[in-house]
């Protein structure tokens, strides 16, 4: 491919990676701080997207929808933590897997009951509707760049939150050592509730801002779920920095996996096996570092 | 995948043998089921369709239309009452054979109707071939069902994945499109659709620049759009459906390719997503065996009746379900509802001309519709029929099915 | 040990009762139970990992599905392959796969272990899904079931529903006895010790990695047996057999039944399948089609089990008898 | 291997160090354990005593230095390999199998001395050796009465005894005991001290302990650690007399119970 194309693909990869980061960051926080494995994370991405759609239909614009949607997501998160997740902290991961696996089915069916099984589109806000010409044939949609910017802002925001604020201090303490956090006299119940809600909100938010590009359809949650796990595990559980690096890495691997052509002894490897590449990457990383790139020993 | 692909003779051969053996098995299978089927009493119709999840809507539409067709014909089959047994196949292939088996062996259905998902269909076909139960496919277009794995007791009222795509090959050439890039999900339907297009396109002197694939159900198209932009073909043939199609059409427009490169595809690309893509599909031409604004009395009547009965607009899937109903009605009428005379039912179903909302059509020797494929153009929220792309198309050719004598 | 004798008697009684099924029940129910027993074997194989070694594998479908594919790929198109060659090969491949994957994933633990096992099974899923190795997404048929002939002598015929059922039943019992024996052996003691406190096991001088790997391989091979039988029963394999939904389902069976009890997961497998049958046939009520949304109830049920039945159905029974419930998860 | 003679050096560490990030938890420590001797390591909390044991037992990798067990270089070996070479350790935080009984704990420990446990079919009960070793070990710590009780049901002190019994059940030549008396009642302590005096005849013992009376009763050699390094090493008399030690440790620390 030409150098120019290569650069654009690079951009695509990074852009995709940033979006992945946004979804995965919530997952990695909940993982790292609460030690809770939440398979239903993807469902919240889906719920976010559907909220963006149905709310913007009612409220007339996406911004209002997102504002309201985030609040709803936070409330939902707190409710779930209080109702279900709380009961599992002491238990083996196994039960978390099980419970959240059940939640996937529940949310998917509720979605079908409430919103039906149709595909829906969300209007791109007029101020973002434009495209920037890159080559004579290809131009780049502003909304995608906007999404990337939002992701970056959020990443920086999270960094500051975690590094600079008191709650961030608790979060770091929690991530590194659970006993310590109690000894600091922190209300762990409250912290966990906040963190879980934050995680949910991040997933839902990701669904909302990507809704205009990705459109809204059943099963969209499970698509991102597994890939997000890969992001978190590669990056290192609980490490936001790791999630960022891993997400970009996967964004690039996925992008070039689709367009590069690799043969080995007459056997076509890429793009034939593009579906495998990210998992392959994960396997390699974990053989090299069993706790992910930025992970601490658990 | 394309059993009928020229370059794939080996696999084709084995599947044809498969037909022979399978067909024999199926016929042998008739005997026990004949013994089972009670002459009097109700006729049991097993509907195995997706009622939950992504394809849930399609399953419901098919079911409704199927029942509508039978209602319009007196609500009986050959004078006998009907009992429906419905089962949600969840579009879950790993449970397919299990579920189909449940209907055939537990519920003892006389007719097995379904389904939408090609992977699940393969499991149903397996059971149908073993048990010999009368089997009608109202959607899934997996080629094998009417090529390599065809059997006397298996009928399809929808299409083969390659069928709606095939005519687009010639249309592209006529439009003066010489170089084409194909892009599709790497799974059965996508691959077969692309094969159908290529077969015809290359035959008429077109050139395929490159085949691009996306792991199913991945919807991150940007990388491939960039690739396409750098290849600068005259046209692009794609296969996507549902949510994937919606996202693709939006990305296609956002990437500025709309209007610069001609986008083509089988009708599924623009069916049921026009509201979702908000104008991004405007003007795109696709080929399918149905479309909006077919001005025949039959179609008008059907649309009216369906909307009235179920408070929803019928789509191509509903039409296929409706025709499945009509086909069964015809078959049962021929034997006065005596399900045991299966050979005569099959014969009748092979002969009958279905007066469908999509237009009249017959079964091919492979039990796949020989039907007109329309050229449609997206106008507003409609897939307006602007002409017939190809009349009475039998594709993949019935000759690929070695139907056992029956 | 009186209670132990009693338990054995009870089990033999159940076995005998099950063996009578094909002579009383009609075809479908024989097939249903065949499937249940097959899933039972699958669930027991996973219980060995989750319940006894404390290794939460979320990719167990890989070994199940691969064995099915092996059978489909090595049996001739329209002639019967030999049971006696294909079964060992299929299980062998699954075991080998488990050996390779296990050697890698056992370096990790906790959440990482769960996720990596998942990742590897997804890798295999895409391998079969995206390539033409075995029919891609459409899957591939096993046209003729393997034959059991030994030098012309035909002990049983797998094409015969009753025979297949009895063979599966025998294998089910065999697997159960095999695992029980294993768990009572020195090896069993070690993996249990590893589950409770691996670090201490190491400092006591046990090369724990080797034992975990052995456990992983055995479990994989048995999952392979189940997959092989499943492929025989329906003569059809497809990529979703290795998908993560199947992995989740079998994990559900294990916990529902009661992990670390061996018989529990087998019970769980049967309970799950019956529950599904029941939920799917829910009637339409008050305008809402419950049958259509049966997964809503399945999901809620799973959530409740996770919350309320840490030791599963068996745990429920045990709780009545002696408190605690034997092998809980450490 | 032949019975080692009294006074023979069984465990020798030369300049071992372990750094966590910047700080050195253990810094250039050299220490020897002789057959028939109790080598006690004392020092204020955070002096690196437990880290030292973890290094010697292979629970932690060395940053630098070299360790020999009965003349053989075991630097960098995994803990299970070192254990099999005849080094047994007990933990400061009781580290046992709570859901098993005292007897089962010890039997599991003893089982590790069989050539291999990759035995899948023969019932474990048929192997007598581990059971007997377990009974012996429990008897030595005076817990035979509680053999059948699940650890969850035992008192803290009793669990500490099991902890030691498990270590003994692996029939080691070198014993690394990390605060064996912590949390024991006077009577239990006395019993363990007695036990140590008996064991020392045919073992080399490295003891980390805060109970100074016990230490000065059983120890032949004392090594005082402060901030990860050895401050002074010698017979009890010398250590008692040492001004440096007084200042750094004994004086400042009230009995050592940090």
pLDDT in tens, A232-281: 989 998 888 899 999 999 999 999 988 888 888 778 788 888 888 888 89
CB C266 within 8 Å of CB C169: no
Q: What is the pLDDT of residue B203?
A: 95
Report the gap between the CA of B186 and the closest CA in chain C (Å).
6
Our count of domains for chain C comes to 1
User: In chain B, pLDDT over 70 holds for what percent of residues?
Assistant: 90
Average pLDDT of span A173-177: 65
User: In chain D, pLDDT over 90 holds for what percent of residues?
Assistant: 72
Chain A residues near residue C296 by CB distance under 8 angstroms: 105-106, 109-110, 113
From the list A235, A216, A221, the residue with the least C-alpha distance to A278 is A235
Q: Is C242 on the interface with A (CB under 8 A)?
A: no
pLDDT surpasses 90 at B37:
no
CB B126 within 8 Å of CB C235: yes
Report the gap between the CA of C115 and the closest CA in chain A (Å).
7
Grade residue C265 by pLDDT with cuts at 50, 70 and 90: very high
Q: DSSP states of C7-32 as a string?
A: HHHHHHHHHHHHHHHHHHS-HHHHHH
Residue of chain C whose alpha carbon sits nearest to that of B97: C234
In angstroms, what CA-CA distances link B127 with B103, B145, C253, C328? 10, 12, 26, 42
pLDDT surpasses 60 at B36:
no
In chain B, ranges of CATH 3.40.50.2300 domains: 6-159+295-369, 166-288
Q: Which chains are adjacent to chain D, needing at least 3 Cβ pairs under 8 Å?
A: C
The verdict on domain B6-159+295-369 having CATH code 3.40.50.300 is no
pLDDT in tens, D47-85: 899 999 999 999 999 999 999 999 999 999 999 999 999
Write down the pTM of the prediction. 0.87
Average pLDDT of span B29-43: 51
Side-chain half-sphere of A67: how many Cα atoms within 13 Å? 6
Q: What is the pLDDT of residue A184?
A: 66
Q: Rounded mean pLDDT of chain B?
A: 88
Q: Which two tokens stand for residue C49?
A: 């990992």
Q: What is the pLDDT of residue A274?
A: 84
Rounded to whole angstroms, the Cα distance separating C161 from D15 reads 73
Q: Among the listed ranges B52-56, B146-150, C16-20, which one has the minimum average pLDDT value?
A: B52-56
Chain C residues near residue A96 by CB distance under 8 angstroms: 306
pLDDT in tens, C93-114: 999 999 999 998 998 888 889 8
- For domain B166-288, give the fold: Rossmann fold (3.40.50)
Q: What is the pLDDT of residue B215?
A: 82
Of D80, D120, D127, the CB nearest to C206: D80
Grade residue A31 by pLDDT with cuts at 50, 70 and 90: confident
Grade residue C291 by pLDDT with cuts at 50, 70 and 90: low
pLDDT surpasses 80 at A62:
yes
3-state secondary structure of C290: coil
Average pLDDT of span A42-65: 93
Rounded to whole angstroms, the Cα distance separating B228 from C122 reads 29
Cβ burial of A74 (10 Å; 0-12, 13-18, 19+) is middle
Domain presence at residue C18: no
The segment with the largest mean pLDDT, out of B71-75, B237-241, C41-45, is C41-45
Output DSSP code: residue C80.
P
Average pLDDT of span D247-258: 53
Q: What is the pLDDT of residue B114?
A: 86
Q: What is the pLDDT of residue D45?
A: 86
Q: Which chains are adjacent to chain A, needing at least 3 Cβ pairs under 8 Å?
A: B, C
CB within 8 Å of B9: residues ≥ 6 apart:
none
pLDDT in tens, D74-114: 999 999 999 999 999 999 888 899 999 999 999 999 999 99
- Strands, sheet with D72-73, edge to edge from the N-terminal-most edge strand: D23-34, D9-20, D64-69, D72-73
Domain presence at residue C179: yes
Higher pLDDT, B298 or A91: B298
Grade residue B8 by pLDDT with cuts at 50, 70 and 90: very low
In which domain, by residue range, is C67 found?
Answer: 25-243
Q: What is the pLDDT of residue B38?
A: 43
Which residue out of D108, D128, D178 would a mutagenesis test of the C interface target, given it has the greatest number of C Cβ atoms within 10 Å? D108
From the list A228, A213, C136, the residue with the least C-alpha distance to B225 is A213
Q: Is C136 on the interface with B (CB under 8 A)?
A: yes
pLDDT in tens, D5-61: 888 999 999 999 998 877 889 999 999 999 999 999 999 888 899 999 999 999 999
Cβ burial of B259 (10 Å; 0-12, 13-18, 19+) is exposed
Average pLDDT of span B185-212: 94
Average pLDDT of span B38-65: 84
Higher pLDDT, A222 or D232: D232
Chain B residues near residue C292 by CB distance under 8 angstroms: 51-52, 56, 60, 88
Q: What is the pLDDT of residue B2?
A: 38
Q: What is the pLDDT of residue A134?
A: 84
Chain B residues near residue A258 by CB distance under 8 angstroms: 212-215, 223-224, 227
CB contact under 8 A, D83 and C203: yes
pLDDT in tens, B139-178: 999 999 999 999 999 999 999 999 999 999 999 999 999 9
CB contact under 8 A, C202 and D78: yes
Among all chains, which residue has been given the structure tokens 């994960």?
A: A282
pLDDT surpasses 90 at C295:
no
Q: Rounded mean pLDDT of chain C?
A: 89
CB contact under 8 A, A232 and C123: no
CB contact under 8 A, C236 and B126: yes
Q: What is the pLDDT of residue D30?
A: 95
Q: Is B92 on the interface with C (CB under 8 A)?
A: yes
Chain C residues near residue D80 by CB distance under 8 angstroms: 202-208
CA dihedral C282, C285, C289, C292 (to 10 degrees): -10
How large is the ipTM? 0.84
pLDDT surpasses 80 at C239:
yes
Which residue out of A38, A96, A108, A109 would a mutagenesis test of the C interface target, given it has the greatest number of C Cβ atoms within 10 Å? A109
Grade residue A297 by pLDDT with cuts at 50, 70 and 90: low
Rounded to whole angstroms, the Cα distance separating B7 from D129 reads 69
Which residue out of A286, A287, A294 would a mutagenesis test of the C interface target, given it has the greatest number of C Cβ atoms within 10 Å? A286
Which domains are delineated in chain D?
Answer: 8-20+33-86+172-258 (3.40.50.300), 96-171 (no CATH)
Domain presence at residue C299: no
């Amino acid at each position: 491919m030409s150098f120019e194309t290569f650069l654009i693909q690079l951009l695509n990869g990074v852009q995709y990676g940033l979006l992945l980061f946004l979804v995965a960051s919530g997952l990695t926080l909940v993982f790292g701080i609460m030690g809770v494995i939440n398979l239903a994370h993807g469902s919240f991405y889906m719920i976010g997207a559907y909220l963006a759609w149905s709310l913007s239909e009612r409220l007339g614009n996406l911004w209002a929808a997102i504002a309201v949607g985030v609040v709803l997501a936070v409330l939902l998160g707190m409710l779930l933590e209080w109702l279900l997740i709380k009961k599992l902290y002491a238990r083996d991961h196994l039960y978390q897997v099980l419970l959240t696996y059940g939640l996937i089915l529940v949310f998917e069916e509720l979605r079908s009951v409430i919103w039906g099984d149709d595909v829906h589109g969300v209007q791109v806000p007029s101020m973002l509707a434009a495209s920037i010409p890159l080559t004579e044939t290809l131009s780049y949609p502003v909304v995608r760049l906007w999404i990337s910017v939002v992701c970056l802002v959020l990443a920086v925001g999270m960094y500051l939150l975690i590094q600079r604020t008191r709650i961030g201090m608790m979060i770091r303490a929690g991530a590194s050592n659970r006993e310590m956090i109690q000894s600091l006299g922190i209300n762990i119940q409250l912290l966990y509730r906040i963190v879980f809600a934050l995680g949910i909100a991040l997933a839902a938010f990701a669904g909302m801002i990507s809704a205009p590009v990705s459109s809204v359809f059943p099963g969209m949650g499970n698509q991102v779920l597994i890939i997000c796990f890969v992001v978190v595990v590669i990056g290192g559980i609980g490490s936001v920095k790791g999630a960022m690096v891993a997400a970009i890495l996967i964004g690039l691997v996925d992008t070039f996996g689709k367009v590069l052509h690799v043969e080995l002894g007459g056997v076509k490897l890429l793009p034939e096996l593009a579906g495998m590449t990210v998992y392959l990457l994960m396997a390699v990383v974990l053989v090299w570092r069993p706790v992910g790139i930025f992970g601490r020993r658990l | 995948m394309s059993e009928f692909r020229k370059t794939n003779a080996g696999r084709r051969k084995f599947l044809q043998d498969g037909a022979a053996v399978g067909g024999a098995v199926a016929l042998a299978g008739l005997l026990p089921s004949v013994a089972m089927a009670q002459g009097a009493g109700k006729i049991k119709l097993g509907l195995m369709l997706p009622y939950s999840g992504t394809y849930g809507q399609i399953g419901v539409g098919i079911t409704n239309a199927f029942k509508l067709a039978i209602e319009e014909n007196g609500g009986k089959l050959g004078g006998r009452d009907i009992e429906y047994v419905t089962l949600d196949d969840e579009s879950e292939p790993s449970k397919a054979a299990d579920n189909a088996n449940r209907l055939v062996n537990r519920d003892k259905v006389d007719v097995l109707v379904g389904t939408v998902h090609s992977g699940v269909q393969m499991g149903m076909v397996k059971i149908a071939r073993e048990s010999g139960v009368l089997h009608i496919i109202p959607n899934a277009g997996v080629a094998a069902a009417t090529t390599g794995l065809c059997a006397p007791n298996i009928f399809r009222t929808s299409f083969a994945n390659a069928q709606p795509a095939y005519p687009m090959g010639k249309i592209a050439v006529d439009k003066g499109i010489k170089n084409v890039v194909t892009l599709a999900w790497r799974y059965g339907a996508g691959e077969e659709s692309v094969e159908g297009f290529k077969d015809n396109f290359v035959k008429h002197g077109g050139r395929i620049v490159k085949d691009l694939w996306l792991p199913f159900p991945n919807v991150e198209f940007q990388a491939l759009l960039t690739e396409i932009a750098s290849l600068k073909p005259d046209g692009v043939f794609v296969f996507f459906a549902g949510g994937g199609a919606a996202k693709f059409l939006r990305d296609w427009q956002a990437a500025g390719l709309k209007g610069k490169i001609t986008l083509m595809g089988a009708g599924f690309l623009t069916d049921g997503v026009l509201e979702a893509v908000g104008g991004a599909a405007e003007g795109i031409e696709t080929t399918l065996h149905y479309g909006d604004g077919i001005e025949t009395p039959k179609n008008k009547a059907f649309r009216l009746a369906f909307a009235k009965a179920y408070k929803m607009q019928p789509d191509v899937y509903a039409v296929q379900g409706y025709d499945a109903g009509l086909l069964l009605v015809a078959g049962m009428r021929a034997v006065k509802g005596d399900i045991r005379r299966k050979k005569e039912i099959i014969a009748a179903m092979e002969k009958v001309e279905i007066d469908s909302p999509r237009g009249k059509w017959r079964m091919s020797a492979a039990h796949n519709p020989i039907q007109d494929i329309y050229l449609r153009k997206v106008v507003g929220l409609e897939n307006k029929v602007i002409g017939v792309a190809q009349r009475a198309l039998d594709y993949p050719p019935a000759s690929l099915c070695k139907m056992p004598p029956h | 040990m009186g209670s132990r004798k009693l338990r054995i008697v009870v089990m033999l009684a159940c076995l005998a009762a099950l063996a009578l099924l094909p002579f009383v029940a009609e075809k479908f129910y024989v097939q249903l139970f065949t499937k249940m027993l097959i899933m039972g074997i699958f669930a027991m194989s996973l219980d060995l990992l989750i319940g006894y070694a404390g290794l939460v594998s979320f990719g167990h479908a890989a070994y199940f599905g691969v064995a099915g594919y092996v059978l489909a790929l090595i049996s001739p198109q329209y002639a019967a392959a030999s049971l006696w060659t294909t079964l060992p090969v299929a299980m062998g491949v699954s075991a080998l796969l488990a050996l390779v994957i296990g050697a890698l994933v056992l370096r990790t633990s906790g959440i990482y272990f769960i996720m990596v096992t998942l990742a590897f099974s997804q890798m295999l899923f895409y391998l079969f899904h995206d390539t033409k190795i075995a029919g891609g997404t459409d899957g591939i048929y096993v046209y003729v079931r393997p034959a059991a002939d030994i030098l012309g002598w035909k002990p049983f015929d797998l094409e015969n529903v009753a025979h297949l059922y009895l063979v599966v039943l025998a294998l089910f019992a065999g697997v159960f006895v095999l695992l029980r024996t294993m768990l009572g052996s020195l090896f069993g003691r070690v993996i249990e010790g590893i589950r409770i406190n691996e670090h201490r096991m190491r400092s006591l001088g046990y090369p724990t990695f080797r034992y975990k790997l052995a456990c992983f391989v055995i479990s994989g091979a048995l999952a392979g047996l189940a997959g092989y039988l499943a492929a025989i029963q329906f003569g059809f394999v497809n990529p979703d057999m290795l998908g993560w939904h199947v992995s989740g389902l079998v994990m559900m069976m294990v916990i529902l039944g009661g992990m670390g009890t061996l018989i529990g997961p087998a019970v769980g497998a049967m309970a799950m399948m019956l529950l599904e049958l029941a939920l799917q046939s829910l009637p339409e009520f008050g305008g809402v089609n419950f049958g259509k949304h049966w997964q809503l109830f399945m999901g809620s049920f799973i959530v409740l089990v996770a919350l309320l039945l840490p030791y599963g159905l068996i745990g429920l029974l045990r709780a009545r008898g002696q408190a605690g419930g034997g092998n809980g998860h450490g | 291997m032949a019975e080692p003679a009294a006074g023979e050096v069984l465990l020798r560490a030369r300049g071992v160090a372990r750094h966590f990030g910047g700080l050195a938890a253990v810094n250039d420590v050299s220490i020897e354990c002789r057959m028939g001797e109790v080598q006690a390591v004392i020092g204020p909390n955070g002096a690196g005593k437990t880290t030292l044991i973890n290094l010697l037992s292979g629970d932690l990798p060395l940053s630098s230095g070299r360790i020999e067990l009965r003349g053989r270089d075991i630097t960098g070996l995994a803990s299970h390999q070192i254990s099999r070479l005849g080094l047994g350790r007990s933990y400061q935080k009781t580290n046992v199998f709570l859901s098993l009984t005292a007897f089962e704990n010890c039997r599991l420990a003893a089982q590790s001395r069989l050539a291999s446990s990759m035995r899948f079919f023969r019932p474990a009960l048929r192997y007598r050796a581990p059971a007997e070793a377990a009974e012996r070990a429990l008897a030595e710590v005076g817990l035979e009465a509680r053999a059948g009780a699940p650890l969850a049901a035992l008192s803290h002190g009793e669990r500490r005894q099991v902890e030691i019994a498990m270590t003994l059940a692996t029939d080691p030549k070198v014993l690394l005991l990390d605060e064996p008396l912590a949390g024991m009642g006077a009577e239990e302590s006395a019993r363990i001290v007695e036990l140590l005096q008996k064991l020392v005849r045919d073992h080399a013992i490295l003891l980390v302990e805060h109970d100074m009376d016990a230490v000065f009763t059983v120890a032949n050699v004392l090594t005082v650690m402060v901030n990860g390094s050895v401050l002074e090493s010698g017979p009890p008399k010398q250590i008692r007399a040492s001004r440096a030690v007084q200042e750094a440790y004994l004086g400042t620390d009230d009995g050592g119970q940090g």
